[in-house]
Each structure stands twice: as structure tokens, then as C-alpha cells.
Structure 1
Amino acid sequence: MSLPPSPPPSPKHRYPLVDRILRILRLYKVGTLPNREAYEYASFALPADQYAELQRRIGEVDEGWYQDKCRWDYDGGRYTLRMPSRVHERFTALVDEAIYTSLKSLQSEIKALEDVYQGRSTTIALHAPKLENSSQESSEEEIIVNRSPDATFLHKGRDALPMCVVEVSYSQQRKDLPRLAESYIVDSRHEVRCVVGLDIVYGKRDRTASLSIWRPGIEEGDVGVCECEVEGVEFRGVDGGVREGGLELRVGDFVPGEFLREGEGEKRITISFERLAAFLADAESQATPSTKPQTPSAPKKFRKRKRSPSEELSDGREAAYLKLEEAELEKEKKVDAEWRGAGWVKDQVEVEVVERRRSKRGKSGRAVGEAS
């Protein structure tokens, strides 16, 4: 007798993690996300089918806002959501503009620089190649990796992917910067020629800020890799003191070689560490906007449109659900840790019992002393 097939899972509960991410995004968009700092760099294990579902349902929040305001990566089943702070955004914008202005100052002598433009932050798709020692079955097999860099520079002669990428990270992301740089360079098949990593620290006690630079490299004759050429060089110390030196970039980091004359690719631009530190100080000073009226003639009383009961209920419900979910996750982690601690002993006992039972049987499979 065959049993009838099980009914499909309810769509409402099929992807609870997707629902949770959408809830985080909705609250972030309206400015009511509880404990926002915890989500400035949030990572989720999200299988490909759930990632596709998330992209399909992103319109429930606001697809235009999501593409413009959020930074996110998807690589190897892991979805990482980044929600830039005011310091992050302001500092990135100042560095972006300084690099672009320096490039344009060389435009009169290097014509190819006319076609360099700022891509700002935009989501790019990298078609990762087959890697050495990879389990991929053929060289034609590709994995698509999505990235949302903080700033990009493209050239009109080859603008499918940026030539140069800038990533600004906080201390909790520092360990991920090398992996991120390697992904940009290797997964783009060396079309991304330079990754600039700027690491800044939260807090008033530690004011350290550092710089790293990665570029393409070749190993063993023909194996493309990512090489770190500048690693964690401080441009501002722990006490806020400015270091000597500068961020040095080549014209070849921004323009494909076929558009350059001999020697042009090695021309340099430099953003001094003093300027970088000044940009960061500017961003930090604007992190908390003034609450004072901008002009003496500003009204003394103000009024906002009343929100409908359904709007207030929706936001409140989303925040309550999110808090409940986070509490449940913490509880599950605790229980799981306790279970693993006890489970190890339990497994050992079970193994011993099985071995003892087996030892009582002969080669025939019967228990010792059992009649045939």
C-alpha cells in the first residue's frame, strides 16, 4: 500500500531566513531597526534557492532603494549584508573624489584617462573561473559571485567590470578584506586590476586607520593569483597621529594596457596620508549632525503627517518579530552547545554498547551458545 505524497510546505514558512532578512531590510529602510550596529556587517548561510527567492521578493521592500543604499555580497552560499554608517559613506565619498581628481590632473598628458569614470557603488557579477585543485568538473563551469563594492573606477573601453575597486571596512570586517580582494581580482579573471582596502576603527580610544593594496599576480608560469603589495600600513595611529607616506596608485590600475602608450601605465598619483586622515576626521566630525536650527528664521514648532494605524502596527510588529527571532536564535545556539557537550559522551557510550554486543556473536552471526 503506497501512502499519498506529503503536501508541499507552506510558502509562508518555507524560507524563514529569507523572511528574516526582508524584515531586517524593511526596518533599516524606515529607520527603526533595533540594535542597528549589530547588522552593519551581517552574514547568513543562504543556499542558492533561498538567495533566488530573496532576489525575487526584494520588491516587497523597495528594489531601487536596495540597489542604491545597501551593500551586499553573495559567494559560495553565504549572503553578507552591509549597512554603511555616516562615517563610512562620507569617508568613501571623499577618497573616491580625491582619486578621481588626481587622475584627471594627468589627463592632458595621458589621453586615455579621459575615458575613466566613477562607478560609485554598484552591484557587479563576477564569473569565477575554474581554480587549481578545484572540484569543478570542467573549465567551462562557472560560479557567479555578486559583489557591491564601496567605490569603483571604470574605463569606457572595457566597462563591464571596474578596473579599480575601493573597499572601506571596520575592525570586525578586517579579516575578510584579503578574501574579498582575492575574489575581486581572481573571480574577475584579472579584469579588476587593483583593490584598495581602507580599514578604520570604531571608538574614541583607538583611532587607528590603515591601508592595504592588492593587484593581480602570476605564479608557476601561468596561474593567476591575487598579491598583496601593501599590507595594513597605518595612515593614522592609535592616538590619532598622522603617519608619513601616501596612497600611491598607477595609471595602469585604471586604464587597460591596450589604450596606453609605452610607460604611461607606470605614471603615479598619490593621496598623502595627511589627506586621508583629514578625510576621516571630516567624516567623523559629521557623524552626529547638529540639532540646532540652521537659520535664525527657522520655525519654533513643527508638525509631521500622522502615520496610519496600519503603518505603526506594521513597523512595530516587524521589530517585535525580529527581536523574537534573535532571542530564539540565541536560545538555539545555547541549547546546541549544551547538546554537543553532552552528546559527545553519549555517542561514546553507544559505540561501546554496540561493540560489546558484536563481541558476543560468532562468525555465523548467532549469539555464542545459541542452537543452530
Structure 2
Amino acid sequence: MTTNLLDLDLEGMAAFCERLGEKRFRATQLFRWIHQRGASDFAQMSDLAKSLREKLAGCAHVAAPPILKEHVSHDGTIKWLFDVGGGNAIETVFIPEDDRGTLCISSQAGCAVGCRFCSTGHQGFSRNLTTGEIVAQLWWAEHQLRARLGTAERVISNVVMMGMGEPLQNYSALVPALRTMLDDHGYGLSRRRVTVSTSGVVPMMDRLGQDCPVALAVSLHAPNDALRDHLVPLNRKYPLQELLAACRRYLEHAPRDFITFEYCMLDGVNDRPEHARELIALVGPQAADGGVPCKFNLIPFNPFPASGLQRSPAAAVTAFARMLSDAGIVTTVRKTRGDDIDAACGQLAGDVQDRTRVHERMAKRRTITIKPAA
């Protein structure tokens, strides 16, 4: 079996070349050919020695998973469905804007966290993606978009690990992928422009802060443990006070001086004035423990039948945002993009061979009555 070189960050590439009897600078050349130029044919890599190209042809390859489908939204958002084998398909979304191009990348085939409002979680979980499968989404999208636009300039300026899966539950594959994205010989992305989104895997948040600190987004979605236990089951293992303490520790290493809290607005569930007041007391500047330097991103819920939930009315979202802002918390309302192709936040579901009996667990949780905040 040959090695897919998309699985290797620069250090891994150097070790691979060393095993072939090659110097480190050859690894850098090879890395640039693959990631900066999008090359997959070793014969095209003209500044590599012929002997090395022949070695590579026999022991390595560069390939992304096959594309099953492409959907283009009326707003320019593009969603690709990648076939990762075993009956599993993952989704990747490109969101073009005037001042940036953002790629939303998946880290798992499915997700084991099972957040109540996320269609990926309702699909269940099959497996972690490899480093190469994570990087391939950026490699394929970047060079495909350059070819379509007829440009050699970078198209993707921002990467968000907000696709299918919980990135920090696939830590060993995630970190080399992040390093490839950040490497000046790879994609040269700023740490401020690469964001990992987590539902709150506290030990891995601490490790990421030490190993590869990038921007961090935390899926909060509730102001108290009772409600968050229901919406984000991982909260039962890492409750809010542990999660917020981890956020404060992460800020000691983070490239930004704030944590982004993602908050999906659910009608009658977490969108009332009392919920906003609880959030202010929990993380705001006037919180008893000093709160958490943060920005809130309020996300309009994208309904799907199995959730049993509804989107908060626009007036409720506006009032909620105003309360947070008036308390000194920077707050934005996410603009929904790609919802006509099911590419908006919470809609990515792909096609997953579930091995977690998620539908049984979801059915039990839907029978629980959520009590309003005091």
C-alpha cells in the first residue's frame, strides 16, 4: 500500500523523505508542490531529482476522496459530498464573501456527541477521518476553485472546523492537519483565521492550547447545566464551570483575546430574556468570577423534522442580542448561508453508516420536558 502524502504535515514529510534517503529540503519542495501548487503527479514536480520522482511513484500518492455530488446555492455557497468509503460520505462547504472565502471542513464521518439541534448528530457516528481526509477537503477545494476562477491567488482565506464531527474527539488526526494549514510551505493561513469548533471536550481544549493554538469556538447553546445537559449531552461529563475554566486557560495561548460562543436560537427553549440574563451572569464582564472574554454568535436554527425544535422568531433573536450587547458582550447574528442546499449551520448530515444507535438515544431525549429558567 502506498502512502497518501496528504496525511503528512511538514515534519511527517521530512521523516518520510529521510526513510527514502533524501534530505529535508526535498520534503519542503514536495510539500510546496502538493499544497501550494495542487500537484498530484510526481512527474510534474520538475525541481525534484528524477531518482526521487521514481521512488515516490512506487511508494506514495496524492489523492482526495472522490466527489459524489456538488451543490451550488443561489448565494454562491458550494457544498461538496466526498465519498470516504465504507458507505460513508462527508460534506464540505465553501462560503464566498466580499472580503474572505471560508471553507467549513468535516473531521468525522458523523458525530458521537448527539446535540439535539444538529442533523449531523442525528445521523449517528461511523468513524474518525484521517489527517489526509481532513486536509484533502482544503487541498481539493482550494485548487478546484483556483482553476474555476482562473487565478493563482489564494481563494480560501479562512478555515473553520465546523463541518461534520467533533474535531477534538479526533485529536491525533486534527493537529497535523492544522499544522499543514498553518505552515508557510503549505497554505500559510493565520492562526486567527483557522477556527476549531468544539462542544466542550475539556482535556483536549487544554492540549490544543499547548500543541497548536488556533481560534476557538465553543458550542454553548444554554446558560445552565440542566438545559445544556439536554441540548449538548457532553455537558454531563464536562459541565459549564469546567468548560468555562478551560476557556479561560485557552485564552492564555490563543491567537485571539476572546472565545467565540456559538448559540443556536431555539424557540421557547433557550431564547427567552431569562436565558439572556443567565448568560450575562455566567460569562459577562459583571460575572462574579470575572466572566470569560467572549463574543456571542447567535445562530438561527435550521429546522429538520427529527429534531422536534423550531427556529426562534426574528424579533426574539434581536431582543436577545440587544440584551447581551447592552451588558457589554459583543454579539452578532449569523447570516444564514446555503440553506437552500442544506449547507447551513447544523444541516450537514452526509451519509453515515451509524454504529451508535443514535436514533434510540434521541427518541429517549425527546421525551424529556425542558423547564424554563427561573
- When normalised by structure 2's length, the TM-score is 0.28
- When normalised by structure 1's length, the TM-score is 0.28
